[in-house]
Structure 1
Amino acid sequence: MGALSDVRVVDLTQVLAGPYCTMLLADMGADVVKVERPGGDLIRSSPPHLDDPEAEPYGGYFQSVNRGKRSIELDLGADDDRETFLELVETADVVVENYRVGTMESFDLAYETLAERNPELIYASIRGFGDPRTGETDRQGQPSFDIIAQALGGVMEITGAEDGPPMKVGPGIGDLFTATLNCIGILGALHHRERTGEGQYVDTAMYDSMLSMTERAIYLQSYQGSPPTRCGNAHPTLFPYNAFAVADGYVVVSAFGTNHWRALCDGIDRPDLADAYPRPADRLEHREEIHAELTEWMATHTTDDVVDRLEGSVPVAPVQDTDAIFGDPHVHEREMLYEVDQPGAGETVDIAGSAIKMSKTNPKPRGRAPLLDEHREELLAELAAQHEAISEK
């Protein structure tokens, strides 16, 4: 039993943002019915794939964010499939889609139409620039992807080396953070419905979400009157807070608090630095001199030496690649790697586990991603049984 085991989600989404949102719901126990257009989700064929000719042609991208869902292939432009979709909507608590503005209207399946069939429905959309229902702009209808949202939302302008070009963040945060906010909105709408019986529309835009994520840049602009820009791995108002090259890699240190600063200076045998720069304002004013001292010391020590000296008294960590992550006992003890079957391959693959931990209804991936249309007969049988139960009342 998951926290959402009594919730059914009809999932029209594809690629990353929408599927990640509905994946979070599935991990918490929701029955997520993935309605796929003819041919399936655009990322079913995306690499990486196992080097096994018998393996199902969906790869790691699709597997990771579609685990634990049921699939049915429907052409919403065909009368029979459209009716099947509407029957699914009647059984649903939530519908999620991430089409461009106007797409669902082109099928005569807009929120208002679905709400007539199911007044308690929570209808959620994820778009690049939001939906006119929640605030109309001239950008709506334009396509958007992660890099577009990161560029417009200010993320790229504040990411990268100080003397380098704007840089996108590695993970697709334009998709992932938007998806997470959409999931939160859905949960809020479900709670509201529990109290009032009212369904509603939930809208999350990628551009809006990136503005929310770059909250620091917004207040810095307001307080300072000029746009903040890139400062590498440093922090504009806290010091020391940076990555340092060591003899065999990189470590990060966050020691801007006076207690951590003094512990850092003791750990590297430089108590004179603590005495010379006792206040946060002193350290910010002289950050270049201090950074040079720390950089010189770090370069002659290994990762293990730095971590052994500082860990426990100073926030410090090695910069890990995925080999190191897979070997970290913490990751396994926290169940942050999850094995799922790869159809046809006769072996399992690892995907990221759920970062949400709950003492009673702990979320977890609930099996592999579905084959295209894998659950058609099962879902049609459920709808038929529901119709029969209604007719017998």
Structure 2
Amino acid sequence: MSGALNGVVVLDLSRILAGPWSTQNLADLGADVIKVERPGKGDDTRAWGPPFVNTAEGEPRDAAYYFCANRGKRSITLDFTQPEGKKVLLELVAKADILVENYKFGGLKKYGLDYNSLAKVNPRLIYCSITGFGHTGPYAERPGYDALIQAMGGLMSITGEPDTVPGGGPQKVGVAVVDILTGLYATSAILAALYARTQTGQGQHIDVALLDVQVASLANQASNYLLSGKVPGRLGSAHPSIVPYQPFQCADGYVMLAIGNDTQFKAFCETAGYGGLAEDERFSTNAQRVANRDQLVPLLQERMLLKTIDQWCQLAIENGFPCGPINTIDRVFEDPHVQARNMRVEVPSETYGSLNLVASPMKFSGTPIEYTTPPPTLGQHTEQVLGELGIDAQTIESLKKAGAV
């Protein structure tokens, strides 16, 4: 393998999304990621379908969900609750640089696989724990899932239409955004710890919690509250601090108008035949537009209905204001810019023939990401990885019969 993290070994004891998202990032960067899974079952998301992905012979195998977060890894099956399985895991720990796990708080301590125990085996180990609520605080022992955290962390309170309009009420985001953000924060923390180790020679424990990440990711909405004392509410797809910045209905559908400054607003008004609107004292600055959004938005909506999606998008390009279609996912991958950025990749697979997967958004000039290793089948690399530890074929067979691998 090649890449920025070539030579770095990662033990991935995580499953579902937040942990695997982080370790997939590390795999994309060139690390050797060994995914440790339960014999006979594996990562929960292997069963989270339909849809399921068919093998080259047409047999349905793992769920499509699993494929979003596990490319570039090697899979081994290992039951570390058995003494034989734990012994193998400790041998892997001794050679690893990073371990990522998302067991419940204290879940690994009873097996002697917590950070304090493993740091004695490998003092250079960077051990990243991902949980719902972290390793401290009154909620530490509670299980946490993305939708629950979106609710508890405030995201659902600012997502969705207001209660006063039809269909109003709190909404979760259409993807498990807290899991994804947690995976990204975990990756950043791991890379920082990896650099710190070059200075100190020592590993460390990283405690990343979904709730912490959600609170941190409230971004401007949190700042608005903390600095003003005003609790943000739901505005649908409108923006609390920028106007106009929301979907508008056109003659044949909807576009997203995202006006970021007064110059763009003037260009839009002139294009819409509403040039005087940009000079109106009620709307001449963004602050005034926010204060008077209820008067402005209906005026703009009248003009938006006069043209089609394609007409508005072309006018936006010609006149310098941000406006775009609200694409369905099939149209996203048909978009010529998305195609030019190579955001869909075809990865060869012995089991599946080939797989169409989403590419990483990270583009490197010197250590480019290589898409040569598809998400592994369950236990695909068990014998290979154990052989690298010096475990002979006879011993591997004994481990299999004992159910340890």
Question: TM-score range, shorter-chain basis?
Answer: over 0.9
Q: CA deviation at 1:364?
A: 4.4
Structure 1 counterpart of 2:341, one-letter code: R
**Structure 1 contact 37–73 (Cα < 8 Å) conserved:** yes
Q: Are residue 241 (structure 1) and residue 239 (structure 2) matched?
A: no
5+ residue gaps, structure 2: 393-405
> Within 5 A, what are the aligned runs for 1:32-43?
32-38=33-39, 39-43=41-45
Aligned counterpart, 1:118: 122
- Residues 51 and 196 of structure 1: is their aligned pair in 2 closer, same or farther, counting only changes over 3 Å? closer
Quote how far apart the aligned CAs of 1:293 are: 1.1
Q: Helix, strand or coil: the match of 1:384?
A: coil
Q: 1:389: which partner in 2?
A: none
1:103 corresponds in structure 2 to 107
- Structure 1: 5+ residue stretches without partners: 387-393
- What amino acid maps onto 2:20 in structure 1? P
C-alpha displacement at 1:341, in angstroms? Answer: 4.2
Q: Which residue, out of 272, 275, 286, partners 2:276?
A: 272
Q: Which has the larger displacement, 111-120 or 361-370?
A: 361-370
Deviations 1:290-327 (Å, cap 9, x if unpaired)? 10011111122111000011125011111111121121
Match of 1:144 in 2: 144
Letter in 1 for 2:367: T
Q: Could you tell me how far apart the structure 2 residues matched to 1:7 and 1:344 are? A: 27
Aligned to 1:205: 209
Report the Cα distance in structure 1 between the residues aligned to 2:303 and 2:356, rounded to whole angstroms: 38
Question: Is the contact made by 1:56 and 1:342 (CA closer than 8 Å) also made in structure 2?
Answer: no
- Show the counterpart of 1:11: 12
Question: Following the alignment from structure 2 to structure 1, what is the Cα–Cα distance between the partners of residues 199 and 158?
Answer: 42
The equivalent residue for 2:262 is 258
SS in 1 for 2:374: coil
Alignment correspondent of 2:183: 179
What letter corresponds to residue 52 of structure 2 in structure 1? H
Are residues 1:49 and 2:52 paired? yes
Please name the residue that 1:325 is paired with.
Answer: 332
Larger displacement relative to structure 2 (261-270 or 181-190): 261-270
Q: Give the structure 2 partner of residue 78 of structure 1.
A: 82
| TM-score, structure 2 as length reference | 0.90
- 1:22 paired residue number: 23
Q: State the distance in 2 between where 1:267 and 1:230 align.
A: 30
How many angstroms apart in 1 are the aligned matches of 2:99 and 2:54? 36
| C-alpha RMSD of matched pairs (Å) | 1.7
Amino acid in structure 2 at the alignment position of 1:31: D
Shift of 1:281: 2.6
| In 2: Cα distance, 1:149 partner to 1:63 partner | 24
Residue identity matched to 2:91:
E
Residue 307 of structure 1 pairs with residue 308 of structure 2: no
* Cα deviations by residue, 1:338-369 (Å, 9 ceiling, x for unpaired): 113465444x3322110111211123444211
Paired residues in the alignment total 381
Q: Which range moves more in the overlay, 335-344 or 140-149? A: 335-344
Q: How many angstroms apart in 1 are the aligned matches of 2:195 and 2:54? A: 45
The answer for the alignment partner of 1:384 in structure 2 is 390
8 Å Cα contact 1:126-1:203 kept in structure 2: yes
1:63 to 45, 49, 67: 67
The verdict on how the C-alpha distance between 1:50 and 1:35 changes in structure 2, with shifts beyond 3 A counting, is: closer
Alpha-carbon distance between aligned partners in 1 of 2:370 and 2:289, rounded to the nearest angstrom: 44
| 1:233 CA displacement | 1.0
CA contact (8 A) 1:56 1:344 kept: no
- Asked whether the 8 Å contact 1:130–1:205 carries over to 2, the reply is yes
Q: Distance in 2 between matches of 1:268 and 1:22?
A: 48
- Sequence identity of aligned pairs in percent? 38
Give me the whole-angstrom Cα distance separating, in 1, the residues matched to 2:295 and 2:361: 39
